[in-house]
Amino acid sequence: MLDLKSNPLITRQDAVRAAVDMLKPLVPRLTPGKARLTVDGSGAYYAEDVAGMEGFSRALWALVPMLMGKCPEAEPFWQLWREGIANGVDPAHPEYWGDIGDYDQRMVEMAVMGTGLCFCPERFWAEFGPAQQNNLYRWLNQINLHVMPANNWRFFRILVNLGFLKTGRPVNEARLEEDLGLMESFYVGDGWYFDAPTKRDYYTLWGFHFYSLLYAAAMQTADPERCRRFVERARLIAPRFACWFDREGRALPYGRSLTYRFCQGSYWSAMAFAGVTAEGLDLGELKGFLLRNLRFWLRMPIFDWSGALTVGYGYPNLCAAEGYNAPGSPYWGLKTFFALALPKEHPFWQAEEKPYTPPAQFLDGQAHLLICRDEQNRQAVAYTAGNHAWEHMHEDEKYEKFAYSTQFAFSVTKEAASLSKGAFDSMLAVRRTGKDLWHGRSGCGSFAFTRDSVTFSWSPVVGVEIDTVIAPRGMWHVRKHVIRTAYEIEAAEGAFSVQKDWAGSRPCERIASRLEADESRAAAYGAYGSSAIFALRGYDQGEVIHTEPNTNLMYPRCVLPTLHARLLPGEHILICAVFTDAQSVCPKSLPPEVQRLAEEI
């Protein structure tokens, strides 16, 4: 955890110190040949030697821009990593990274090396001898010889070929043109790229835009028209992506790969590096997004005892990890330090950091998100439908919750046999009365957005059909469900999970958070914010559920205000109102405007 008293993360030098603080714990983990990091604990779908290479390479996302920006603090690290690169690409060395195959994880890690060749060849290329250069070219050129997924991975090959171009090595022109064309085919408008039709998440920002802005910075003269398109799209998305952040620098916990954490700010860093600003966003505001997000993350308990990053989100937690999250994977977040390539005299670093408050309510139709915030921008809440991912752990929880909050994050299900282990926050879960597992939303039959509401049809289980309307008003929202069931079911409607505020160290001791529940509402509020759910029609009882530890992404121990209903075969209507606030206030009743909304919905 970064000490923000000794390093307030305001200046470029502060950012350099933060990068150094994250690189230092990796040095003792280097293998004898310096080509890998020793990895322990958890695993990924690829072998440990590849995971060790991954961790080694991802540290370069901080080192490369530090070398470009001539930061003297990078030199002792570069001496070690330069030796590791030389050994890793040498087929005769015991720590050789190996020959790759189709769809190989090592393709991902080649991207930063292509970036180094492209932007600082005087260090990343010229400091190697002729034999080492040949080894490096041969090893990286394997990416041109194997099959890659038809997704954002193609940018890794683009960067490698750019590195060859800048160092005078043979470029696979056919591959380069093929990959650039594929990347552009994923553009859908309003600044958004999607490499799968139902995944709308951070990969547009830390994948497509980050790499396309590097391309634009490198190829302005050689490929001006494409660079112009890349820059214009990056400008278009800036005010939209700004809506994902609150005033504390927290971004929406939403979608896959959240263990990359402060990679959320890498888009802002790439914008600064490429010299791109957007209408309504000046350099000071762009700088604010980058640094506030870093400050938030670096005061969170996301490091282990040695200072190394852990797999998780708000704390070390494997529950929500994907199969490709190895121990070194979180260091992909170091991409957010790319602005260190700019010297301290650059206008970006000289600009005064400024706050920025997006609109109180914004509909982004391309991303399928209706995003709201309070007047002080203390919290952003996104309402979604029509987003889905079918190949990742906890895909329903990551994309299909009714609402996502910067304050509370979301929870994942450990076991659907109980509500406490299911942790169904921001969701209506149902099960056949007295048996079966609980089921939430997993896909929509149809959906629609307006500037004031989200509607969707869904079926949590065979024999149960639901039409839902969600209408937000500030930090309130009203939910209406029309449910048609072929058999008797139980329904549980969750608000947001709230961190427990313990008065003591043992579970049997009093909880300082206020928990309230009766037949009309359920509420939890305290030092970490407040959430409440009000029964307006069709519910039987409120309850505050103590969810299973480590189900929530942000907080290891939470409580969840929940409403219950038991429904006989036939058609039923459930209506509730949900309140959320970043402060410890919690209303006892609905304000008039929310009451009217509930009557009109």
We report the CATH number of the domain holding residue 285 as 1.50.10.20
462 has a pLDDT exceeding 90: yes
- What is the number of domains present in the chain? 2
Residue 507 tokens read as 């579970």
Q: E strands, 73-161, where? A: none
- One domain for residues 191 and 335: yes
Cα–Cα distance measured from residue 128 to residue 133, given in angstroms and rounded to the nearest whole number: 6
- One domain for residues 124 and 255: yes
- One domain for residues 191 and 337: yes
Q: What is the CATH number of the domain that holds 417?
A: 2.70.98.70
Name the burial class of residue 484, with classes exposed (0-12), middle (13-18) and buried (19+) by CB atoms within 10 angstroms of its CB.
middle
Residue 319 lies in a domain: no
pLDDT 10s digits, 16-72: 999 999 999 999 999 999 999 987 778 888 999 999 999 999 999 999 999 999 999
Cα–Cα distance measured from residue 444 to residue 502, given in angstroms and rounded to the nearest whole number: 39
Residue 572 lies in a domain: yes
Q: How confident is the model at residue 389 (pLDDT cuts 50, 70, 90)?
A: confident
Residue 1 lies in a domain: no
Name the burial class of residue 126, with classes exposed (0-12), middle (13-18) and buried (19+) by CB atoms within 10 angstroms of its CB.
exposed
Q: What is the pTM of this model?
A: 0.96
5 has a pLDDT exceeding 70: no
**Amino acid letter for position 418:** S
Q: Which helix (H) or strand (E) holds 537?
A: strand 529-537
Residue 320 lies in a domain: no
Cα–Cα distance measured from residue 299 to residue 251, given in angstroms and rounded to the nearest whole number: 15
- One domain for residues 257 and 111: yes
Cα–Cα distance measured from residue 234 to residue 87, given in angstroms and rounded to the nearest whole number: 38
Contact indicator for 536, 575 with CB cutoff of 8 Å: yes
Q: Cα angle at 205 between 214 and 283, to 5 degrees? A: 70
SS3 72: helix
Least confident of 41-50, 273-282, 426-435: 41-50
Mean per-residue pLDDT, 367-389? 95
Can you give the residue range of the structural domain that contains 452?
364-600
Residue 399 lies in a domain: yes
Cα–Cα distance measured from residue 205 to residue 216, given in angstroms and rounded to the nearest whole number: 15
- One domain for residues 141 and 280: yes
- One domain for residues 129 and 43: yes
Residue 4 lies in a domain: no
- One domain for residues 370 and 299: no
- One domain for residues 44 and 117: yes
Least confident of 40-54, 370-384, 483-497: 40-54
- One domain for residues 283 and 379: no
Residues in Cβ contact with 159 at an 8 Å cutoff, skipping those fewer than 6 apart: 110, 111, 114, 115, 118, 211, 214, 215
- One domain for residues 336 and 435: no
- One domain for residues 55 and 124: yes
| Nearest alpha carbon to residue 18 among 7, 5, 29 | 7
502 has a pLDDT exceeding 80: no
